[in-house]
Structure 1
């Protein structure tokens, strides 16, 4: 792909604090992004609130800000550094959320999103929009519905039947998500999910406990070339969050037909969501008894598994 000459300064948004076993991949991917962009001749500005990272070493970005990752701080940096574009897909959910908050507030007028645009981020992260997109391209999904308050959530859980899985929108590391086996467990879980989601949205779905879980790491470019970086198999079945599970790459128990179906589905999903460039993570589940494959979710960014 030819180098773009219409942008000069790029703001790379980091992921902030790192806890043991989580998010070190954002430091790695952010460091690689800064090195690559500088090699291409772009001026790189970095914000990351965590000084104990590799990416904040002085040699990587042209200008590094160790500041809170907030809309107000980022807005000041954009003005001070004459930023032309932002790259939010290397900083995990923290970077995506702050970029979307700023975009929704009209704070990024004239600033270009690299990697994934706001529409693609919203389509990939918002459970309702994602499900609509998957139905449009013929993907199989678990039986599910969205709720925005506890009363709605309780009604839906009773309709779907226990056990149910509750997933909060726009969260990282499975925040506000889990499995409930009865109404009392669900009340607590649903309220945690509503509180954790920045848009107060949870998805309630049929239980997939015991199903095998897989992930595809996919890269797409502006010319619509798509490649699978690797397939990943979760050692633990559905019910254990992928970030807490042992993962094996490449996947070992997929048949060739299952792998090819998953590969083709991943490419369709990236195109429908609208990720223009860069890496994405697509998660699938397969019923070991019937072979039924469903789409769980996709992240329009690099993930812990990446």
Structure 2
């Protein structure tokens, strides 16, 4: 059964879709664990064989981490809205595998065409609910050589923590604002969480639209630091013989 869910800001869970079919996750999981699940189900179990007979009765313990990432169309259709919702935006999937989750995630982003910049300026604008993660995000990016610019509330928190930051105006506060810096190539990556306020939503949406033409990745909901160089490597063929 293929199910799709949505979770509201209040924590309510909605069932969007339920179909008696295999999803695109089935071949991904099969490759990740080294077992052809579609073959087991369609060709063997449905023909009367038990899981014991096909030797699939134990949990598969993996040494590696596999990540499936959606390929989004923003690079090909520049200027389109990057705000994601329940609608299907992806034009495909990619898969990556590595022993460390951070490297597996980074490889998936690269394969999907989201090439994260390694240096430059980070724009931060976090709502009150996510400000608890602010110093971790800021120090992480500072540690790999980024400069930081932020809107007033975010900037104030960083200054209290002794983190160097340049304050930048929101679009409704005057010029020059964050979108101007994006247009001028002065911002390479953004971390934005919306407060839900209508004016903030307009600012955030305009910043993100500006960013689709200038930034390699326009918005992040979480932060993940990956080593620039991996000590060892793994490929899909060594992870699975399927």
Q: Tell which has more relative contact order, 1 or 2 (C-alpha 8 A, sep 6+).
A: 2
- Give the TM-score of the pair, scaled to structure 1: 0.28
Larger fraction in strand = 1
- Give the TM-score of the pair, scaled to structure 2: 0.34
